[in-house]
Amino acid sequence: MTHRSTSVFLRAGLTRKILRAGWGLGLALLAGCAAPHDPNAVGGASTNAANPASPNANGVAHGVANAGAGANAAAAELRGTGDLGVAIERTTGAIQIIDTTHHQRLAVVKGLGDLSHASVVYSRDERYAYVFGRDGGLTRVDLLSARITHRIVQAGNSIGGAVSQDGRVVAAQNYEPGGIRLFDAQTLEPLADIAAIGPDGQRSKVVGLADLPGHKLAAALFDAGQIWIIDIADPRHPRITRLDAGRQPYDALVTPDGRWYLAGLFGEDGMALVDLWQTPLTVRKILSDYGRGRERLPVYKMPHLRGWAVAQDQVWLPAVGHHEVLVADKAHDWQQAGRVALLGQPIFAIARPDGRQVWVNFAFPDNGKVQVIDTAQRKVIKTLAPCRGVLHMEFTPKADQVWLSCRDDNRMEVWDTQKLERIATLPINNPSGIFFTARAQRFGM
Amino acid sequence: MTHRSTSVFLRAGLTRKILRAGWGLGLALLAGCAAPHDPNAVGGASTNAANPASPNANGVAHGVANAGAGANAAAAELRGTGDLGVAIERTTGAIQIIDTTHHQRLAVVKGLGDLSHASVVYSRDERYAYVFGRDGGLTRVDLLSARITHRIVQAGNSIGGAVSQDGRVVAAQNYEPGGIRLFDAQTLEPLADIAAIGPDGQRSKVVGLADLPGHKLAAALFDAGQIWIIDIADPRHPRITRLDAGRQPYDALVTPDGRWYLAGLFGEDGMALVDLWQTPLTVRKILSDYGRGRERLPVYKMPHLRGWAVAQDQVWLPAVGHHEVLVADKAHDWQQAGRVALLGQPIFAIARPDGRQVWVNFAFPDNGKVQVIDTAQRKVIKTLAPCRGVLHMEFTPKADQVWLSCRDDNRMEVWDTQKLERIATLPINNPSGIFFTARAQRFGM
């Protein structure tokens, strides 16, 4: 079942103007704009490196800021981008550009709007970060010059995005109005607007957006209870396959090989699974008795799903409304292979990239704790209390470090994943998500 | 069984001198040296971009060369390094720096010695390439300024290397004299020399070197028939665990998760497998009847193994002396799950990163052909005849492109892996290996 989108198509020549587009939403395309100039700013990324991590730092100094549009980008130094990342300051509309080799903050870039639930994806060359804000803002930041190159407000409420397999398209998934919008990855020129209209004719929130092999995207429609597989080989004319998924998919992941798309269901027990190698595509329900016969606790915060949940052949999933993670065994027809009891309601369950550990953080009131699971023994081997308000965790691609964001202590912590010891602390104002550039090389990240 | 190396340890202060070290081999540490200046060179990587791929090019123009030591590195432009790569010119001692986004040659760097069987690994920031030459040369090249930053001749004959999990150590595996040498990844200062002495007291060629999680390396000793797991957490004092592996391991791979180390055996049928999660470590023989009862053909060229062989839960292995690839099923206790007949003796069997295809090239006289296997159907779906002397293949990390080196036609070809169509051609003199920077983010690559 495919469908030609009735999108509004806009030409590149219209960029740099305020556009009033046909889907009832003002679209401000501010190509080349930059954050307000800060007279105290240190110019360029190169000189900002003189702001090393302070092991006992608390609170944040904002003397480091992006250079603004007037700065000379050539002042930034040549550097590789494979060890860079972005950390979100959720209350200031700013991001930090960080270096995982030296555990350093390189620069702060301001002017990104409401970042209270922001996420980031990367260009295929790992130079540009695409930052999705709660206010519908989509900002393209040059990590090398520490400047905003393009910024648009493309929806009323956005929760994330994806970059296509070939790197040419950046896609935004939106809550309000519900849908997916496609943009040219270099210019943020709009390419297509895919309204998330369910079988009942109503708009739906979109969750779980992931890029797939074969120039496709996958997404889940919370209100409509559907999974959509979207062919964007021609990004101005996306073709949609709609599948019924179950009640209220709240988030989803694709396995790192791009084959299996798995959506968590909030409105019922179990998860919806699509084998993307199958023709025709169908949805299959797995883990459908995971909460059966047991009362679900009040859910303070929804867990997140992403390809990081895969360790070896097993997928580690935070159980909604239960103090546990579930293990689904990909190698054995996706049967439930086990469950591990935890101290609280899990939010993120993230596998160390070698799959030997899964790290879990928690909803309030347990959000000062992190539990480390040994996946071979399937048990918690360590409970850490690193700081207050652990909102996110990000592993370096070769698994030696994990970075934690400590919202209520205004810092990030870097941990050695083998010794389970803290090795560095960096100041940052109310941090939330941390995103490393290695995500550019992976499906669904 | 561990062992403290009797290495010669050298201090950083001794760099820039010719050192005569204690292992009977002259070590020329030429920190900061560069290739001979070419008066026709185009200065800096930035301006070299004006040398786009020519779809019908044949033969090679060498007007593009590295800028040499005298050039101003600041003239190079800021750019991300996630979409870069290196291609070897096997007869000229030069490498090309290539860009997979624009299918462009950015620069040529000369002066790397004998590159007739060269290979490349990358720094964790994806800025520097470490090139291992057949003459024992180890050259560190800055991809951004297109300059050699350091070059040493560290052995008589080297066939490859690895970068440690944390990026701090670069290791070389040597045929002559057989052993592994560790160097500081920034300065190429020697850290340790691990002589590959077998149970009989003889030196052995070293093959299959791979970096592992937990600050370890793995390698196989061809003559000694052993696998060594080497803890390099303290790289000046490596600790070795020695395991008997079988007769003549010729190459090896570690799975992308860093858990399974698998060595191919030339002296007997089958392969040697180590589960690196097990304590104590042991070797197990798998696929031990793969050639049983069938005569082995003369072997013109040894196949290569590496983590690229893993597609989904299955490992696709070129069979030595047979016209087929074998499939070992990791999810089912490493049993042989199938074999696929091919047109000739396979050299590389490389999985597209999403695992849906495996591409195979061949030994002489079939080295003008490439076969594409669909892994779901386990059959050849296409036989390509792209050019003469296909020596190597490299996929972009998100699987949309594969680059082929065509030695006897003096070109590289870029293919669309979905349409199975050629999309670009680049001139290069007798190319062999092609290596993309995304390898920096993976174990064993």
Write the secondary structure of B185-242 as one string of H (helix), E (strand) and C (coil): CCCCCEEEEEECECCCCCECCEEEEEEECCCEEEEEECCCCEEEEEECCCCCCCEEEE
With H, G, I as helix, E, B as strand and everything else as coil, classify residue B14. helix
Nearest residue, CB atoms, A438 vs list B312, B313, B441: B441
Q: How far is residue B254's CA from residue B276's CA, in Å, rounded to a whole number?
A: 10
Q: How far is residue A142's CA from residue A128's CA, in Å, rounded to a whole number?
A: 5
Q: Which of A62-71, A398-407, B186-195, B234-243 has the lowest mean pLDDT?
A: A62-71
Average pLDDT over residues B217-242: 98
| Chain B contact for A102 (CB, 8 A cutoff) | no
- B353 and A257 within 8 Å at the Cβ level: the answer is yes
Q: How far is residue B398's CA from residue A264's CA, in Å, rounded to a whole number?
A: 25
The nearest CA of chain A is from the CA of B245 a distance in Å of: 24
Nearest residue, CB atoms, B81 vs list A81, A165, A398: A81
Report residue B362's pLDDT band, with 50, 70 and 90 as the boundaries.
very high
With H, G, I as helix, E, B as strand and everything else as coil, classify residue B255. coil
pLDDT tens-digit map of A255-300: 999 999 999 999 998 899 999 999 999 999 999 877 655 677 777 7
- A125 and B82 within 8 Å at the Cβ level: the answer is yes
Nearest Cα residue to A124 out of B309, B102, B48, B357: B102
Residue identified by tokens 């690196």 is B276
- How many contiguous H segments (helices) and E segments (strands) does chain B have? 1, 34
Between chain A and chain B, the number of residue pairs with CB atoms below 8 A apart is 159
Nearest Cα residue to A180 out of A99, A96, A238: A238
Instruction: Tell me the chain A residues in contact with residue B257 when contact means C-beta distances shorter than 8 Å.
Output: 311-312, 353-355
Q: How far is residue A172's CA from residue A198's CA, in Å, rounded to a whole number?
A: 18
| Chain B contact for A107 (CB, 8 A cutoff) | no
Confidence (pLDDT) at B41: 31
Write the secondary structure of B277-333 as one string of H (helix), E (strand) and C (coil): CCCCCCEEEECCCCCCCCCCCCCCCCCCCCHHHEECCEEEEECCCCCEEEEEEHHHC
Which residues have C-beta within 8 Å of that of residue A419, sequence separation ≥ 6? none
Q: How far is residue A171's CA from residue A125's CA, in Å, rounded to a whole number?
A: 17
The nearest CA of chain B is from the CA of A244 a distance in Å of: 25
Nearest residue, CB atoms, B144 vs list A73, A78, A312: A78
Report the mean per-residue pLDDT for chain A: 84
Confidence (pLDDT) at B355: 96
- B399 and A166 within 8 Å at the Cβ level: the answer is no
Q: Scan residues 158-177 of B and list those with Cβ closer than 8 Å to A.
A: 165-167
% of residues, chain B, pLDDT over 70: 82
Instruction: Tell me the chain A residues in contact with residue B165 when contact means C-beta distances shorter than 8 Å.
Output: 398-400
Confidence (pLDDT) at B63: 30
Instruction: Tell me the chain A residues in contact with residue B211 when contact means C-beta distances shorter than 8 Å.
Output: 398
Q: Which of A49-63, B235-249, B411-425, B430-444 has the lowest mean pLDDT?
A: A49-63
Beta-bridge partners for B148: B141
Strand order in the sheet with A324-329: A310-311, A314-318, A324-329, A335-341
Burial A341-379 (b: 16+ CB within 10 A, else e): ebebbbbbbbbbbbbbbbbbbbbeebbbbbbbbebeebe
* Ranges of H-type helices in A90-234: none
Instruction: Tell me the chain B residues in contact with residue A80 when contact means C-beta distances shorter than 8 Å.
Output: 81, 123, 125-128, 143-144
Do B326 and B319 form a contact (C-beta atoms < 8 A)? Answer: yes
pLDDT tens-digit map of B55-92: 333 332 233 333 333 343 445 789 999 999 999 999 99
With H, G, I as helix, E, B as strand and everything else as coil, classify residue B437. helix
Alpha-carbon distances of A22 from A6, A155, A273, A434, rounded to whole Å:
10, 13, 35, 35
Confidence (pLDDT) at B297: 72
Q: Tokens in use for A101?
A: 């080799």
Q: How far is residue A211's CA from residue A294's CA, in Å, rounded to a whole number?
A: 35
The nearest CA of chain A is from the CA of B144 a distance in Å of: 7
| Chain B contact for A186 (CB, 8 A cutoff) | no
Q: How far is residue B83's CA from residue B66's CA, in Å, rounded to a whole number?
A: 19
Residue identified by tokens 């964790």 is B124
The nearest CA of chain B is from the CA of A236 a distance in Å of: 19
Residue B52: phi and psi, rounded to 5, are -75, 165
Q: Tokens in use for A214?
A: 């074969």
How far is it between the farthest Cα atoms of chain A? 63
* Ranges of H-type helices in B344-403: none
pLDDT tens-digit map of A171-228: 999 998 999 999 999 999 999 999 999 999 999 999 999 999 999 999 999 999 999 9
Q: Scan residues 61-80 of B and list those with Cβ closer than 8 Å to A.
A: 73-74, 76, 78-80
Q: What is the separation of C-alpha B214 from the centre of its chain, rounded to a whole number of angstroms?
A: 21
pLDDT tens-digit map of B142-181: 999 999 999 999 988 888 999 999 999 999 999 989 999 9
Which amino acid would we find at residue B160? G
Q: In degrees to the nearest 10, what's the CA dihedral of A363, A110, A23, A244?
A: -30
Residue A5: phi and psi, rounded to 5, are -65, 140
Confidence (pLDDT) at B75: 58
- A82 and B440 within 8 Å at the Cβ level: the answer is yes
Q: How far is residue A6's CA from residue A384's CA, in Å, rounded to a whole number?
A: 51
Which residue does chain B place closest to A445, by CA atoms?
B398
Instruction: Tell me the chain B residues in contact with residue A78 when contact means C-beta distances shorter than 8 Å.
Output: 73-74, 76, 78, 127, 144-145
Beta-bridge partners for B162: B171
Tell me, what's the ipTM?
Answer: 0.85
Q: What is the separation of C-alpha B188 from the centre of its chain, rounded to a whole number of angstroms?
A: 19
Do B264 and B225 form a contact (C-beta atoms < 8 A)? Answer: no
Nearest Cα residue to B44 out of B61, B66, B60: B66
Which amino acid would we find at residue A205? K
- A83 and B124 within 8 Å at the Cβ level: the answer is yes
Q: How far is residue A137's CA from residue A133's CA, in Å, rounded to a whole number?
A: 5
Nearest residue, CB atoms, B356 vs list A125, A213, A400: A213
CA angle B218, B237, B121 (to 5 degrees): 45
Instruction: Compute the residue count for chain A.
Output: 445
Q: How far is residue B44's CA from residue B106's CA, in Å, rounded to a whole number?
A: 9
Which residues have C-beta within 8 Å of that of residue B198, sequence separation ≥ 6? B204, B221, B223, B224, B225, B226
Do B178 and B153 form a contact (C-beta atoms < 8 A)? Answer: no
Q: What is the separation of C-alpha A306 from the centre of its chain, rounded to a whole number of angstroms?
A: 8
Confidence (pLDDT) at A292: 56
Q: Tokens in use for B69?
A: 């030591």
Whether B48 shows a pLDDT value over 90: the answer reads no
Confidence (pLDDT) at B248: 95
Q: How far is residue B47's CA from residue A78's CA, in Å, rounded to a whole number?
A: 15
Mutation to test the B interface, candidates A46, A77, A81, most B Cβ within 10 Å: A81
The nearest CA of chain B is from the CA of A164 a distance in Å of: 9
| Chain A contact for B278 (CB, 8 A cutoff) | no
The nearest CA of chain B is from the CA of A230 a distance in Å of: 16
Do B264 and B288 form a contact (C-beta atoms < 8 A)? Answer: no
Confidence (pLDDT) at B385: 97
Which residue does chain A place closest to B331, by CA atoms?
A331
The nearest CA of chain B is from the CA of A17 a distance in Å of: 28
Do B374 and B381 form a contact (C-beta atoms < 8 A)? Answer: yes
Q: Tokens in use for B106?
A: 């950015």
Do B21 and B10 form a contact (C-beta atoms < 8 A)? Answer: yes
Asked if residue B365 has a cis previous peptide bond (ω within 30° of 0), the answer is yes
Q: Scan residues 11-30 of B and list those with Cβ closer than 8 Å to A.
A: none
Report residue A376's pLDDT band, with 50, 70 and 90 as the boundaries.
very high
Confidence (pLDDT) at A269: 86
Instruction: Compute the residue count for chain B.
Output: 445
Alpha-carbon distances of A149 from A105, A130, A143, A176, rounded to whole Å:
20, 10, 10, 25
> Of residues A353 and A25, which shows the higher confidence score?
A353
% of residues, chain A, pLDDT over 70: 82
Confidence (pLDDT) at B70: 36
Nearest residue, CB atoms, A124 vs list B101, B125, B257: B101
pLDDT tens-digit map of B293-343: 567 777 777 788 988 889 988 999 998 889 999 999 998 899 999 999 999
Confidence (pLDDT) at A18: 26
Strand order in the sheet with B379-384: B346-351, B357-362, B370-374, B379-384
Residue identified by tokens 């590959």 is B196
Q: Scan residues 371-400 of B and list those with Cβ closer than 8 Å to A.
A: 376, 397-400
- A399 and B258 within 8 Å at the Cβ level: the answer is yes
* Ranges of H-type helices in B96-190: none
Which residues have C-beta within 8 Å of that of residue A265, sequence separation ≥ 6? A245, A246, A247, A248, A249, A250, A271, A272
Do A444 and A211 form a contact (C-beta atoms < 8 A)? Answer: yes
Do B196 and B224 form a contact (C-beta atoms < 8 A)? Answer: yes
Whether B357 shows a pLDDT value over 60: the answer reads yes
Report residue B254's pLDDT band, with 50, 70 and 90 as the boundaries.
very high
% of residues, chain B, pLDDT over 90: 73
Which amino acid would we find at residue A236? R
Instruction: Tell me the chain B residues in contact with residue A76 when contact means C-beta distances shorter than 8 Å.
Output: 78
- B257 and A437 within 8 Å at the Cβ level: the answer is no
Q: What is the separation of C-alpha A185 from the centre of its chain, rounded to a whole number of angstroms?
A: 17
Instruction: Tell me the chain A residues in contact with residue B128 when contact means C-beta distances shorter than 8 Å.
Output: 80
Confidence (pLDDT) at B288: 83
Confidence (pLDDT) at A293: 59
Q: How far is residue B128's CA from residue B143's CA, in Å, rounded to a whole number?
A: 6
Q: Scan residues 311-330 of A and list those with Cβ closer than 8 Å to B.
A: 311-313, 330
- A82 and B126 within 8 Å at the Cβ level: the answer is yes
Residue identified by tokens 């070698």 is A354
